[in-house]
Amino acid sequence: MTWRDQLRRSIRTLEQLEAVVELTDDEREAVRTLGSRFRLGITPYYASLMGGPDCPVRRQAIPTLAEAVLVPGETSDPLAEDAHVVAPGLTRRYPDRALLFVSPTCAVYCRHCTRR
């Protein structure tokens, strides 16, 4: 399967995820609870690497209920990147560096990423 096929067939819904991974009750509830707040995106290949609930690959891609807990001081832009956008897809926080977003989407929305 090409990378384009992987992206086209990405898992984006709870129903699609349940078809390929046997979710725990907590994982299922987390996907339901966080679905409107955070994106879900897992390529078929990445899903094929997942083991049981404690698998690091799985934990990196499937939400947990802990993500629903907001802690004091938490913001939606923890790196303050929004204030440094100089053009669509280009963030410049430091004079000698720039961050170029070559795509508006990710192949897998990692749970630890600030852009989930």
pLDDT in tens, 42-99: 999 999 999 999 999 999 999 999 988 888 888 878 888 889 999 999 999 899 999 9
Is residue 61 included in any domain, yes or no?
A: yes
- Please tell me the total count of domains within the chain: 1
The structure's pTM equals 0.80
**What is the residue whose two structure tokens read 């963030």?**
91
Would you place residue 20 in the very low, low, confident or very high pLDDT band (cuts 50, 70, 90)?
very high
Rg (CA), the chain: 16
- Given a contact cutoff of 8 angstroms between Cβ atoms, the answer to whether 27 and 63 are in contact is yes
Average pLDDT over residues 24-34: 95
Q: Length of the chain, please?
A: 116
Q: Has residue 112 been placed in a domain?
A: no
Pairing of strands 90-94, 85-87: antiparallel
Give residue 51's domain range: 3-73
Residue 89 within any structural domain of the chain = no
